[in-house]
Structure 1
Amino acid sequence: MKLRTTKFMAAAIAILASYSPAIAAGAPPTLASPSDSGTLPTIEWNMPGLKDEATPKTLVLCSQDVDEQIELYKSLIEKIGTLKGYTILDGNEPISPTKATENSGYIVFINKSANNKELMDCISNYPELKSIFTDFVQNKIPSQQSIVQELIRTGALPPGMPPSQCYSRFYYPAEEHGRWIAYVGIDYSADNSCFEDFLPNTFGISPRSCQSVGICSGGEMKGK
């Protein structure tokens, strides 16, 4: 019972954070501008004790926009020096055995619909990932929606709160948090804006912190 309550509280906090910038941001971070004396920007980590250590070094990406998103990942890695050493692979391409190490994980990001054939073919390439994706769609999204309704019922969220447009979840090989095996997200928004938060979260970076220093926002991230 205690474990179940803890999980509910953790999920509720995450959902509240997605609805409230004040809750998500927490204490104001101390940030350095990327233009200050050419030094690397100072960013805020969601879990400072771990930083990026919970992120697998080799990441296999399945997405409807895989080419563009791989470039965005590479750009972020280049801009944040502590992320050097990460490899982002196109999940549609054959992955050599030397790349599929124990220190690898999957990223799945879907825009609006999960019926895209190329995306589903990519997921099907990895049996372990296919079961994780099915769990995410069939169980985790409805669970998050139920928690939102409970938060509305208890007054933590106002009545009539619109449903979240962004859903995401990390999957771990065991109950205790260690290195995750997959990070899955879906974007129901009209402008496909959820990826701006999804991208830095892959490495445990606070999205608001990343955007504040100008390296996780639209044109700057794409190098335009």
Structure 2
Amino acid sequence: MRNLLRDSVEAIRSLRFVSLHGDGVFTLGSIGVEKAMKVMLGCNEVEASGSWPSKKTLKDDWGHDIQRLGQMLDTAVERGLARSTHTGYAKSLSNRISGSATLPLLFATFARYGKSGRFHHLDILATNEPGSDDPPSEYWERVVFHVRTTEPEFAEVPYGENQALDEYEARLHGRIADELEAWWFCVHRLGAMGCFGDLGKKIGWEIWEPGRGEPTSVKS
């Protein structure tokens, strides 16, 4: 799981063309984030009921909707803050997640891909038409558009200057990757501090890559 999240972050950072490399980003992101959410929610369920969620719950009730899983995780964090070992720090990490306007758009992209987007272009083989829903790449463009229009450093796009444009897009993708890395770190630390119960303390340490430092996007 931590390898998937690490590779998801790095895939976003190294993304050049979504038409060529998007599937790699979306596959890693949708699987890695979904697994992390379900594992921490499972720990929370053990704390609440004493047992791990059933296969039916994991597959049918929770499913692959990363947006809904994210909302469930936010609720679990909010309710678990009181039992964390460092409530002030835990609250700041919770606020870091809930205060991000980029994460919901990124998770919507992963959710679209995880639910049916990976088959979007295969539908044409059976129906002579692509999938009826918006392709995951359009969801990704919403993430990019949001960053461009809300963060001043990305307001000016250097069209017509190839090297400058490449550098600009690398910085922009790096900014998006920073948000996912920040979420990953916050969930790790919230787990380690007990927000998801005693089992979550152990799993919280396991989901973070050993030796990896606190992201600057969390420190700031």
Instruction: Output the TM-score relative to the length of structure 2.
Output: 0.29
Instruction: Output the TM-score relative to the length of structure 1.
Output: 0.28
Q: Quick check: which one's helix share is greater?
A: 2
Q: Quick check: which one's strand share is greater?
A: 1
